[in-house]
Amino acid sequence: MRVRGRIKRISGPLVIADNMAGIQMYEMVRVGEERLIGEVTRIKGDMAYLQVYESTTGLKPGDPVEGTGSPLSVELGPGLLGNIYDGVQRPLSSIIDYLNKIGSRRSIFVERGIDVSPLSRDKKWYFTPSALNTGDSVSSGDVIGIVQETGLIMHRVLLPPGIQGKVSWIAPEGSYSIVDPIAEIKVNGEVKEVYMMQRWPVRTPRPYRLKLEPSEPLITGIRIIDTLFPMAKGGTGMIPGGFGTGKTVTLHGLAQWSSANVIIYIGCGERGNEMTEVLERFPTYKDPWSGKPLMERTVLIANTSNMPVAAREASIYVGVTIAEYYRDMGYDVLLVADSTSRWAEALREIAGRLEEMPAEEGYPSYLASRLAEFYERAGRVKAYGSPERVGSVTLVGAVSPPGGDFTEPVTTHTRRFARVFWALDTSLAYRRHYPAINWISSYSAYIDTVSDWWSKNVDPEWKAYREEIMGILVRENELQEIVRLIGVESLDEKDKLILDVARMIKDGFLKQNAFDPVDAFSTPKKQFELMKLIIDYYRDATKKVEGGTPASRIKELLGRLYVDIVKARFSVPNEKLEMIYKLKKEALKAISSA
Amino acid sequence: MSSLYGIREYSRIAEIRGPLLIVEGVRKVSYDEIVEVELSDGSRRRGRVLDISNNIAVVQVFEGTTGITTTGTKVRFLGRALELPVSEDMLGRIFNGLGELIDGGPEIVAGEKYDINGSPINPAIRAYPEDFIQTGISAIDGMNTLVRGQKLPIFSGSGLPHNRLAVQIARQASVKGQNEEFAVIFAAIGIKYDDYIFFKKFFEETGALNRVAMFVNLADEPAMIRLVTPRVALTLAEYLAYEVGMHILVILTDMTNYAEALREISSAREEVPGRQGYPGYMYSDLASIYERAGRVHGKEGSITQIPILTMPNDDITHPIPDLTGYITEGQIVLSRDLYNKGIYPPINVLMSLSRLMKEGIGKGKTREDHSQVSDQLYAAYSRGVELRSLAAVIGEESLNVNDRKFLRFADLFEKKFLKQGIRENRDVETTLDIAWELFAELPEEELTNIKEETIKRYHPKHRADI
Ligand SMILES: Nc1ncnc2c1ncn2[C@@H]1O[C@H](COP(=O)(O)OP(=O)(O)O)[C@@H](O)[C@H]1O
Ligand SMILES: [Mg+2]
């Protein structure tokens, strides 16, 4: 029996309805004559407090409210990849088609009350069943067949969680829609139909067999990230920064270049044009790991800053549920959310309308636990079912602190749960030092986790070089303090050399232009060789300085080679690393006469 | 209660609080509905429903509640959200902040009515802005390029020449290879009469008045109307851009006054305040204005927005500029220091940014060297500025020869590149050539942001070789 009540009060995205006895917490509801989508966020007596995912303009007390009987859920199945959804998984491209079809003149807008299924019911997918026979025992998570979803991703059709039984029928190889049955499973004497599509409530994490430690780096091609503050597959990270410091460009970079199989990109309360940028570019950009168009591995969730705020709160959960679904197939998934601050603000706005007791800066007291729950959905896991599969969800969230102040609640709470901290620095951004990731205040908890991989796959000396480059940067930071007070001349020669080399590191290694075709993506090998070039030069130069040569003389001897070194990041393509070796030879030779 | 054509009238006012009326005994009132308030003397005001529960409506009165009494006042609910009738004939005319004609001219044949709140543009139908707009101003064209469909605010301080700059942009803005001019929609939000006259005169002088629609709410007019004015202006802009197919430049000034009005209404509603008393939803609210810029597939026109705001105490971290910067596609920041040095336009390029620049420049759009020149200008100027503060502590003579060159570069940059006349319209090639002249003052091996072949082609030294 569906619960039917009436609107009692409307205040922004919050609607209070009465006569709602029997409604469940977090149940999805339909509100008003236009049947707007909403969700129950509090129940008091026979009153339900609803957050409505569309504009509430025009709703009236007395309008009907109807329960749907189930919590807010997403549709999971082939057809997700390459798609763009709003915060409650309404398909934004299909909405345009739909509005055009009905002859709407306002088809460029997202109007209210539009009901279009997230996944196409008409499209046929070519399904190849697993080697299963009638009578075989199967349980949830088992791969019952495969579908080539895009050129890049083989969709493994999984038996939904909670099903265990014997196969009574499995569809032969062929084309099916997601609502055609593809198997029948006998569960306790009852036959259940299985489809390529399943539903899952977004606020409940999908189950897995076992959580594993992250072990491999998620290579991003961004040097300061991979080399200095690495991310691991299944890890968590945050990227806080004031406006214009480079959060979005960095997240776009991660979405473009990362060594993940599937990317979930959530535009949470940010600009419409940034979603457009992904939509327009990704189909034409190639995945550096497979050469296929990037859109084939990407799902976009868009709740732009002018779209309804309640759906912003939901968008994060919609995204992470889709991420878990591909993880369960055995894929490495990267989810980026730009920006989690807007999600937190949505939470604050709704809490405020519910007249809940605010904690710091008006945020509800459960902000921290919600953040914890979200980041807890990251991880590398062994999935349920056979064949055995290991997949991961890596979560990276942008944080937009008011006034760029990192002591505000969202930044401070997120720091407790994210293990990589890429701190963006306004003063670096003003100088156009991009990425403006501050190398002193950033950190990664995965350095030891990934160093095995680097020494096996790139160079056994990776960790030693990394430490040396960090050492120079830390020392330079101390020296700058002194220089600001008394100038460079009072430093000793070794310290002057450090200043010179640090500039080389900053200009030639840390800076990375996301829009330069050569510079934007560095292979691990190129990253290492650039680092080695500078450090080997530094080691030789240090010996000369210790032997009495002034740092300025070393710089003179290096001459124009200095420019060649700092330009190598954009003048040496990934596949021409011999240019770096040659450069190093010349540089070491140039200073050898000192 | 009386009901006529969906209009319902009530007169039980339970409370008057700030700009709010609490009306009791109402029925079938909808959220965001428009209200007409008739005072006992027969005068009328407009308002809007902010909160509605069973039979109590909270109404915000745009013109304020001064003089309203709890008895003898009639409140009419008009059965619709605030709408603006739009038409092409609105260009060349002047309206008040609610969109009502005030220039004394002939009535406009009313076109279709649109809800002033608009609807969010579907992100899947947006077209990424990429048409270079030449403003003729070097600091903008060279380093913070504006493109058609962008929202690029001017962050100013009181007394700084933001109006002059806005006007210069409006006068000079052109898209290469197209002689179609922008139509301008100008929204005055709580500005002083002088400022209004400054803009009006400018539009008259340039003969542009017939391509301009002005929506005017002055400083001495009711503050609550300010919440409506930018929306009314953008409703017309959307009509002209997406239905008529025109390229529209929208100037909104001063968004600080808008935000103040928002704070006022929020505190009257006794909402939990966010930072510095501004409501927690100010980000989303501002976004519902700023995001009404852009281009879409399948439509000719575009909306380019230049909001102007004055930063309280010149503080860029104040919630108004801060939240704006988080929404807009960059910002042009004016600097009091440069202004005091006599530099016009006093644009602090280091704090300024155009996020859409990269798509609007380069070969075929401006010139192939553009992005490298811009990067190099930033690198060299920021180094010069840093050395300037170092030199102030340790003395210029303690800097080495190289560093002194950067110091000089920073000065030259401000005097030759930034500074220009209020009627000086530089084309982008001139802007880039000035930059190269400045680069010639630096040792060539310091031009680390520019590729070798670009230096060969554009550096004055090599050009002279040819
Ligand atoms: N790695 C980078 N390479 C080149 N430019 C960058 C890079 N990171 C940021 N930028 C510049 O900074 C601007 C602002 O970056 P963005 O990521 O949009 O900032 P945020 O999301 O933090 O507000 C971009 O438009 C671009 O011009
Ligand atoms: Mg951003």
Same domain, A229 and A193: no
Nearest protein CA to atom 15 of ligand 1, as residue? A246
Q: What is the pLDDT of residues B48-101, one digit of tens each?
A: 999 998 889 999 999 889 999 998 899 999 988 899 999 999 999 999 999 999
Q: What is the pLDDT of residues A352-371, one digit of tens each?
A: 888 888 888 889 999 999 99
Query: How far apart are the CA of A246 and the centre of ligand 1, in A?
Result: 4
Asked whether the bond before B120 is cis by omega within 30 degrees of 0, the reply is no
Q: Is residue A92 part of a domain?
A: no
Q: Which of B52, B80, B108 is the last residue of a domain?
A: B80
Q: Which residues contact B302 (CB under 8 A, 6 or more apart)?
A: B129, B131, B148, B149, B241, B247, B248, B294, B295
Residue of A nearest to B51 (CA): A11
Out of B32, B242, B451, the one facing A58 most closely (by C-beta) is: B32
Q: What is the pLDDT of residues B233-245, one digit of tens each?
A: 999 999 999 999 9
Nearest protein CA to atom 11 of ligand 1, as residue? A246
Same domain, B75 and B158: no
Query: How far apart are the CA of B456 and the centre of ligand 1, in A?
Result: 29
pLDDT, greater one: B175 or A330: A330
Model pLDDT, residue B466:
54
Top-ranked range on mean pLDDT: pick from A225-229, A347-351, B2-6, B388-392: A225-229
Model pLDDT, residue B3:
40
Same domain, B191 and B232: yes
Nearest protein CA to atom 26 of ligand 1, as residue? B355
List phi, psi (to 5°) of B48: -150, 145
Q: How many CB atoms lie within 10 A of CB B36?
A: 15
Same domain, A216 and A328: yes
Same domain, A182 and A223: no
Q: Shortest Cα distance from B455 to chain A (angstroms)?
A: 13
Same domain, A39 and A132: no
Q: Which of B311, B329, B359 is the last residue of a domain?
A: B359
Same domain, A28 and A58: yes
Same domain, A278 and A184: no
Q: Is residue A492 part of a domain?
A: yes
Q: Do A432 and B390 touch (CB under 8 A)?
A: no
Residues of A in contact with B296 (CB under 8 A): 108
Question: Which residue out of A268, A342, A434 has the highest number of ligand 1 atoms within 8 Å of its CB and is therefore the one to mutate?
Answer: A434
Same domain, B394 and B456: yes
Same domain, B127 and B69: no
Out of A8, A60, A560, the one facing B29 most closely (by C-beta) is: A60
Task: Report the alpha-carbon distance of residue A321 to residue A342 in Å, rounded.
Answer: 19
Residues of B in contact with A275 (CB under 8 A): 123-124, 126
Out of B52, B319, B322, the one facing A61 most closely (by C-beta) is: B52
Same domain, A140 and A67: no
Same domain, A193 and A258: no
List phi, psi (to 5°) of A204: -110, 120
Whether the Cβ atoms of residue B185 and residue B236 lie closer than 8 Å to each other: yes
CATH number at residue A369: 3.40.50.300
Q: Is residue A118 part of a domain?
A: no
Out of B127, B299, B398, the one facing A489 most closely (by C-beta) is: B398
Q: Do A361 and B274 touch (CB under 8 A)?
A: yes
Residues of A in contact with B115 (CB under 8 A): 57
CB pairs under 8 A between A and B: 217
Same domain, B423 and B394: yes
Model pLDDT, residue B5:
47
Whether the Cβ atoms of residue A52 and residue A308 lie closer than 8 Å to each other: yes
Q: Which residues line ligand 1 (CB under 6 A)?
A: A 241, 243-249, 434-435, 512-515; B 353, 355
Same domain, A379 and A423: yes
Out of B128, B330, B394, the one facing A487 most closely (by C-beta) is: B394
Question: Which residue out of A222, A249, A336 has the highest number of ligand 1 atoms within 8 Å of its CB and is therefore the one to mutate?
Answer: A249
Q: Do B448 and A566 touch (CB under 8 A)?
A: yes
User: Which of B114, B125, B318 should be substituted to probe chain A, the one whose Cβ sees the most A Cβ atoms within 10 Å?
Assistant: B125
Q: Do A16 and B53 touch (CB under 8 A)?
A: yes
Model pLDDT, residue B464:
67
Model pLDDT, residue B4:
42
Query: How far apart are the CA of A249 and the centre of ligand 1, in A?
Result: 5
Same domain, A421 and A471: no
Q: Is residue A512 part of a domain?
A: yes
Q: Which residues contact A190 (CB under 8 A, 6 or more apart)?
A: none
Q: Shortest Cα distance from A457 to chain B (angstroms)?
A: 32
Residues of B in contact with A571 (CB under 8 A): 451-452
Q: What is the pLDDT of residues A236-261, one digit of tens each?
A: 999 999 999 999 999 999 999 999 99
CATH number at residue B17: 2.40.30.20
Range of the domain at B246: 84-359
Residue of A nearest to B331 (CA): A244
Same domain, B297 and B345: yes
Residues of B in contact with A430 (CB under 8 A): 350-351, 382
Q: Shortest Cα distance from A511 to chain B (angstroms)?
A: 11
CATH number at residue A46: 2.40.30.20
Same domain, B74 and B193: no
Atom of ligand 1 nearest to the CA of A512: 1
Same domain, B238 and B252: yes
Q: Do B393 and A485 touch (CB under 8 A)?
A: yes
CATH number at residue B298: 3.40.50.12240
Model pLDDT, residue A125:
98
Same domain, B98 and B169: yes
Q: Show contacts of A416-419: CB within 8 Å, 24+ apart.
A: A416/A368, A416/A371, A416/A372, A417/A236, A417/A371, A417/A372, A417/A374, A417/A375, A417/A376, A418/A236, A418/A237, A418/A238, A418/A375, A419/A235, A419/A236, A419/A237, A419/A444, A419/A445, A419/A446
Tokens 């030639």 belong to residue: A508
Out of B123, B280, B451, the one facing A275 most closely (by C-beta) is: B123
- CA of A251, nearest ligand number: 1
Percent of chain A with pLDDT over 70: 100
Distance between terminal CA atoms of chain B?
A: 88
What phi-psi label fits residue B437: left (phi over 0), alpha (psi between -120 and 50 degrees) or beta?
alpha
CATH number at residue A131: 2.40.50.100
Q: Shortest Cα distance from A243 to chain B (angstroms)?
A: 5
Q: Is residue B365 part of a domain?
A: no
Q: Is residue A91 part of a domain?
A: no
Same domain, B97 and B244: yes
Same domain, A190 and A240: no
Q: Is residue B364 part of a domain?
A: no
Q: What is the mean pLDDT of chain A?
A: 95
**Looking at residues A521-540, what average pLDDT do you find?**
98
Q: Give the total number of structural domains in chain B.
A: 3
Q: Which of A444, A471, A488 is the last residue of a domain?
A: A444
**Looking at residues A498-517, what average pLDDT do you find?**
96
Q: Is residue A524 part of a domain?
A: yes
Whether the Cβ atoms of residue A293 and residue A287 lie closer than 8 Å to each other: yes
Range of the domain at A157: 125-197
Pairing of strands B212-218, B183-191: parallel
Three-state DSSP class for residue A363: coil
Q: Which of B327, B359, B391 is the last residue of a domain?
A: B359
Reply yes or no on whether the pLDDT at A20 is more than 60.
Answer: yes
Task: Report the alpha-carbon distance of residue A192 to residue A183 in Å, rounded.
Answer: 8
Q: What is the DSSP letter of A293?
A: B
Percent of chain A with pLDDT over 90: 89
- CA of B354, nearest ligand number: 1
User: Which of A305, A309, A312, A513 should be substituted to probe chain B, the one whose Cβ sees the most B Cβ atoms within 10 Å?
Assistant: A305
Same domain, B63 and B183: no
pLDDT in tens, chain B (466 residues): 334 447 889 999 999 998 999 999 998 899 889 999 999 999 999 999 999 988 899 999 998 899 999 988 999 999 888 999 999 999 999 999 999 999 999 999 878 999 999 999 999 999 999 999 999 999 999 999 999 999 999 999 999 999 999 999 998 999 977 777 789 999 999 999 999 999 999 888 877 778 999 999 999 998 889 999 999 999 999 999 999 999 999 999 999 999 999 999 898 888 888 889 999 899 999 999 999 999 999 999 999 999 999 999 999 999 999 999 999 999 999 999 999 999 999 999 999 999 999 999 999 999 999 999 999 999 999 999 999 998 988 888 888 888 999 999 999 999 999 999 999 999 999 999 999 999 999 999 899 999 999 999 999 988 766 5
Same domain, A467 and A429: no
Q: Is residue A157 part of a domain?
A: yes
Q: Shortest Cα distance from B140 to chain A (angstroms)?
A: 16
Q: Is residue A88 part of a domain?
A: no
Q: Do B317 and A483 touch (CB under 8 A)?
A: no
Atom of ligand 1 nearest to the CA of B326: 23
Q: Give the total number of structural domains in chain A.
A: 4
Query: How far apart are the CA of A517 and the centre of ligand 2, in A?
Result: 21
Same domain, B27 and B140: no
Nearest protein CA to atom 12 of ligand 1, as residue? A246
Q: What is the pLDDT of residues A74-126, one digit of tens each?
A: 999 999 999 999 999 999 999 999 999 998 888 999 988 888 999 999 999 99
